């Protein structure tokens, strides 16, 4: 594996983490004084989006860590 491959995996992880942070902020922004059912449904949808973004960030992190283990430890 080349350094450029590791750089790409690291960047994919950083991009996924940035997307996750943005999803958290979007969800947080929907916690408003609007106590309606519609507002709650938007908030719930944002929660699902945040969970998907978290899963993608964790997958990207695991791919990067696996590559690092392979390079550094041969496993």
- Tens digit of pLDDT for each residue in 14-73? 999 999 999 999 999 999 889 999 999 999 999 999 999 999 999 999 999 999 999 999
Interatomic CA distance for residues 50 and 27, integer angstroms:
7
Interatomic CA distance for residues 71 and 66, integer angstroms:
9
CB 39 within 8 A of CB 32: yes
Q: Model pTM greater than 0.85? A: yes
pLDDT band at 75 (very low <50, low <70, confident <90, very high): confident
pLDDT for 1 equals 77
């Amino acid at each position: 594996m080349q350094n450029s491959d590791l750089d790409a995996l690291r960047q994919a992880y950083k991009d996924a983490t940035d997307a996750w942070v943005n999803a958290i902020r979007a969800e947080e922004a929907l916690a408003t004084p609007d106590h309606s059912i519609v507002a709650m449904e938007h908030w719930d949808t944002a929660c699902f989006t945040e969970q998907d973004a978290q899963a993608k960030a964790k997958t990207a992190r695991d791919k990067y860590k696996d590559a690092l283990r392979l390079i550094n430890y041969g496993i």
